[in-house]
């Protein structure tokens, strides 16, 4: 078989057998079992979307759909600033890299943010932190997220900034919880196996207890990054909180 780069070079036609063989492999029960155990080797959660769309994506005139773009994954390794118009308000959002090496930049760049939008993944309850493994440590990704969340709550300059917790990837969590028992990763969970609502409630409660412990008020929402209607409502929700905080800081509330 020819090297993989041969199939994807700009000046070579796509071999139709690539699509056929990809679909045949994906239909194999052994491959499906490997996919279900993707948490054991850090398989990207968007893999099934792109593999099942192979015929469309590998077509010569392919253009990415909105869904394709929303399902792309690219780690934020440094600060990325974006501006959004939400109704009559223009918001500037600074996306800070979540990787361990990037966290030192957070405080230096934004000592007094108007609001903190903390994004956490529900779907990573069964995965370990890759960076920690390279350092000889085995740490659950949700636990890592909880540690970061607590550090944000504790940092004095952030005390007057409202915290908005977005528990993301609830759609992927719904699929995973059927195969991967939450109790296996969090023995303190006493709800029924495979119960999406109880599982979400449990994970959300872990963050809530930290906020209560530190006397911080926060609000949370379950989200799906690929659901545009869901995120439109989230932006409106964030806008209202930011507006109230700006008015409060100005002494008008």
170 labeled binding residue? yes
Whether 131 and 242 share a structural domain: yes
Whether residue 156 contacts residue 112, with contact meaning beta carbons closer than 8 Å, is answered with no
Query: How many separate domains does the chain show?
Result: 2
Residues 6+ away with beta carbon under 8 Å from 140: 125, 127, 128, 129, 185
Q: Is 146 annotated as a binding residue?
A: no
Query: 168: annotated binding-site residue?
Result: yes
Per-residue confidence (pLDDT) for residue 42, from 0 to 100 = 80
Give the pLDDT score at 1.
47
Annotated ligand binding at 46? The verdict is: no
Same domain as 24, residue 128: no
C-alpha to C-alpha distance for 223 and 227, rounded to whole angstroms? 8
Structural domain for 28, as ranges: 4-70
Residue 85 annotated in ligand binding = no
pLDDT-derived band at 6 (thresholds 50, 70, 90) equals: low
The structure's pTM equals 0.78
In this structure, are 93 and 193 located in the same domain?
A: yes
Please tell me which residue, 169 or 97, carries the higher pLDDT value. Answer: 169
Could you say which DSSP state residue 183 is in?
Answer: H
Residue 246, pLDDT > 70, answer: no
Q: Edge-to-edge strands of the sheet including 218-222? A: 116-121, 163-168, 218-222
Predicted confidence band at 145 (pLDDT cuts at 50, 70, 90)?
very high
75 occurs within a structural domain: no
* Mean pLDDT taken over the chain: 81
73 labelled ligand-binding:
yes
Contact present, 146 and 207 (Cβ < 8 Å): yes
pLDDT of 7 over the 70 cut: no
Any binding-site annotation on 70?
Answer: yes
Most confident of 28-42, 63-77, 107-121: 28-42
Of 46, 70, 94, the position where a domain reaches its end is 70
- Rounded Cα gap, residues 242 and 161, in angstroms: 9
């Amino acid at each position: 078989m020819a090297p993989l780069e041969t199939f994807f070079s700009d000046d070579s036609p796509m071999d139709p057998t690539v699509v056929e063989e990809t679909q045949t492999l994906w239909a194999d029960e052994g491959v499906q079992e490997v996919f279900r155990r993707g948490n054991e080797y850090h398989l990207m959660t968007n893999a099934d979307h792109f593999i099942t769309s192979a015929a469309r994506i590998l077509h010569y005139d392919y253009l990415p759909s909105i869904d394709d773009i929303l399902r792309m994954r690219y780690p934020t390794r440094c600060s990325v600033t974006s501006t959004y118009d939400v109704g009559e308000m223009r918001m500037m959002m600074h996306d800070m890299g979540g990787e361990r090496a990037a966290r030192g930049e957070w405080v230096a760049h934004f000592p007094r943010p108007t609001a903190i939008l903390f994004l956490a993944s529900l779907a990573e309850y069964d995965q370990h932190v890759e960076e920690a493994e390279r350092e000889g440590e085995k740490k659950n990704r949700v636990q890592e997220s909880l540690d970061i969340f607590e550090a944000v709550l504790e940092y004095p300059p952030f005390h007057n900034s409202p915290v908005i917790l977005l528990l993301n990837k609830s759609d992927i969590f719904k699929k995973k919880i059927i195969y991967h028992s939450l109790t296996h990763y969090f023995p303190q969970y006493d709800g029924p196996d495979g119960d999406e609502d109880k599982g979400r409630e449990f994970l959300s409660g872990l963050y809530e207890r930290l906020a209560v412990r530190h006397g911080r008020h926060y609000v949370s929402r379950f989200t799906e990054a690929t659901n545009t209607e869901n995120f439109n409502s989230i932006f409106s929700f964030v806008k209202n909180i930011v507006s109230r905080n700006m008015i409060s800081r100005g002494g008008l509330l």
